[in-house]
Amino acid sequence: MIEKEFLKFSADKIEQQARHIEDCIGRLNDEQVWLRKSENENSIGNLVLHLCGNARQWIGYGVGDLADQRDRDAEFAARGGLGTAQLTERLKSTVAEAAGIIRSFDPARLLEKVTIQNYEVTKMHAIYQVVQHFSQHAGQIMFITKLLTGQDLGYFAHLNPPKAARLP
């Protein structure tokens, strides 16, 4: 059934992206996680808070029928206050809740309408929005981490063919 596959893939993809974000945070110190080169940029810390708020609103509220308690402005206004361990724990608990809601969601309800941030969308749309949103910001976080560490993160090293042995 395609609906069940959609739900499974969506939960799996959010968890995969969260693992990449957690790994990036683990490679950095608190100062690097909250670094902004200008006021027009968001830090990794801001992006993590934003992803947590977005997932709670779109999945928790929009799909799981939980209370909508998001303070979106605070996600971007933060300039620290949470260390890398606290950010990681917040991300883990948010993703576990969201993935649990998605995995247990009744596929027959995917086309139900809900209003989130003044947008009337289907519950399927809400799930898809969070998956693509996680991918977008995970990519930004990975790029920032590469800039700060100068390292290849190695997430796709398995796709590189082994180098041929050189002959003398």
With respect to residue 164, please indicate whether it lies within any of the assigned structural domains.
no
pTM of the model: 0.93
Per-residue pLDDT at 166: 60
Query: Cα 129 vs. chain centroid, distance in angstroms?
Result: 11
Section 28-37 average pLDDT:
97
SS3 of residue 102 by DSSP: helix
User: How many structural domains are present in the chain?
Assistant: 1
The verdict on residue 168 lying in a domain is no
What per-residue confidence (pLDDT) applies to 157? 87
Specify the DSSP class assigned to residue 115: E
The pLDDT value given to residue 162: 76
Q: Which domain holds residue 142?
A: 2-159
Name the region of 68 (left: φ>0; alpha: ψ -120 to 50; beta: rest): beta
91-127: per-residue pLDDT in tens? 999 999 999 999 999 999 999 999 999 999 999 999 9
Q: What average pLDDT does the segment 51-76 reach?
A: 97
Tell me whether residue 118 is in a domain. Answer: yes
One DSSP character per residue, 59-89 reads: IIITTT-------HHHHHH--S-S-HHHHHH
Q: What is the CATH number of the domain that holds 41?
A: 1.20.120.450
> Is 12 inside any structural domain?
yes
Task: Report residue 160's pLDDT band, with 50, 70 and 90 as the boundaries.
Answer: confident
Is the pLDDT at 134 greater than 90, yes or no? yes
Burial of 58 (0-12, 13-18, 19+ CB in 10 A): buried
Angle at 114 between CA 87 and CA 58, to 5 degrees: 10
Q: What does the pLDDT read at residue 84?
A: 98
Q: How many CB atoms are closer than 10 A to CB 109? A: 12
Query: What is residue 168's predicted lDDT score, i.e. its pLDDT?
Result: 60
